Amino acid sequence: MLLPHFEFHEPTTVSEACEIMGRLREKARPIAGGTDLIVNMKKNLIRPDHVVSLAKIDDLKGIVRENGLLEIGACVTAAEIAGSDAVEKKFAALAQGARVLGSPLIRNLATISGNVVSARPAADLPPPLMAYGARAVLMKTSGERSVDLNDFFKAPGKTVMDPDEILTRIVIEAPQGHYGDSYVKLGLRQTFEISLVNVAAFISLDGSDGPISKARVILGSVGPTPIRSQSAEDVLGGQMPSEPLFARAGEAAAGDAQPIDDFRGSAEYRRDMVAVLTRRALNMALKRAGSR
């Protein structure tokens, strides 16, 4: 499989990268890990005249935890996220998402920015990130903006980003108090699976055995973008956590899903699984909340 010809750029600073993207706009595509871009170029789905590598920009690397924020640089790989103590301890759902992305070989290349920007409906990192209310920091020559990931995705492959914008980092405010988080992915096989359904859940409790003060339920693979299930969150808010409550939240989430029928599974099956996985994800989140 041949790659079409393109010009290759290798900026070493974010401002240099922004300058190149500002000049070339739609003609250029950034490349982070390349696991999406190179496949799509080989399949002739996209043919950028210019490819702008982000790999030599030091500011886009590393995971930093300070002042109550977790900042993950654009070029941080799924393997780095999966192996990070800072992520594992406080952001277990994100670590879970990173551990099930692709294969070990893919995880060593695939980055967080590529996973977010490619906007695949089944991608593994957006649901947990959205469950924490993570924000994407976007940069172009005229300046920087920060977008809540819950407002970021428009359609498969489509986001609110301008063609000359670069995602520089993902920022998550570290949750406080008694909170629990989890991510569940259902596929037909263990590795290499586009999920049939995935669910990320976040709850925080008022005191160690109090009612649920805040809940987030994000559904992946069952709509054109990851879906925040408002109905499930409405069921949970202010209530004491319990098995029947989580079952009702699962039913509510199933109502918010917009699944498709395909050879992997019927829409009906997927909808049923949203209910099951939501209940499981909430149970797991509650367990984690109990141990904090």
What residues make contact with another protein under the rule CB under 8 A? 1-8, 10, 31, 33-35, 38-39, 42-43, 51, 53, 55, 79, 102-106, 108-109, 190-192
Instruction: Name the DSSP class of 130.
Output: H
- Using alpha carbons only, give the angle 30, 36, 39 rounded to the nearest 5 degrees: 110
Nearer to another protein, 8 or 143 (CB): 8
Count interface residues toward ligand FAD (CB under 6 A).
28
- C-beta atoms surrounding 72 within 10 Å: 29
> Least distance from C-beta 3 to another protein, angstroms?
4
**Among ligand FAD, another protein, none, partner that 274 touches (CB below 5 to 8 angstroms by kind):** none
When asked if residue 140 is in the footprint of ligand FAD (CB under 6 A), the reply is: no
Q: State whether residue 82 is helix, strand or coil.
A: helix
Between CA 168 and CA 76 the distance in angstroms is: 11
Residue 268 identity: E
**Among another protein, ligand FAD, none, partner that 124 touches (CB below 5 to 8 angstroms by kind):** ligand FAD
When asked if residue 114 is in the footprint of ligand FAD (CB under 6 A), the reply is: yes
Q: State whether residue 213 is helix, strand or coil.
A: strand
When asked if residue 84 is in the footprint of ligand FAD (CB under 6 A), the reply is: no
When asked if residue 169 is in the footprint of ligand FAD (CB under 6 A), the reply is: no
- Tell me the torsion sign for CA atoms 139, 119, 136, 124: negative
| CB contact at 8 A, 254 and 279 | no
**Among another protein, ligand FAD, none, partner that 167 touches (CB below 5 to 8 angstroms by kind):** ligand FAD
> Least distance from C-beta 240 to ligand FAD, angstroms?
35
Interacting span for ligand FAD (CB under 6 A) from 84-92, 100-108, 199-207, 257-265? 100-108
When asked if residue 117 is in the footprint of ligand FAD (CB under 6 A), the reply is: yes
Q: How far is the CA of 246 from the CAs of 185, 220, 277, in angstroms?
A: 18, 18, 10
**Among ligand FAD, another protein, none, partner that 3 touches (CB below 5 to 8 angstroms by kind):** another protein
Bridge partners of 139, per DSSP, are 144, 166
Bridge partners of 63, per DSSP, are 72
| CB contact at 8 A, 226 and 220 | yes
Q: State whether residue 282 is helix, strand or coil.
A: helix
- Could you say which of 24, 41, 54, 257 contacts ligand FAD (CB under 6 A)? 54
Interacting span for ligand FAD (CB under 6 A) from 25-33, 238-246, 253-261, 262-270? 25-33
Q: State whether residue 219 is helix, strand or coil.
A: strand
- Interaction site with ligand FAD (CB under 6 A): 29-37, 39, 54, 74, 101-102, 106, 109-111, 113-115, 117-118, 123-124, 166-167, 192
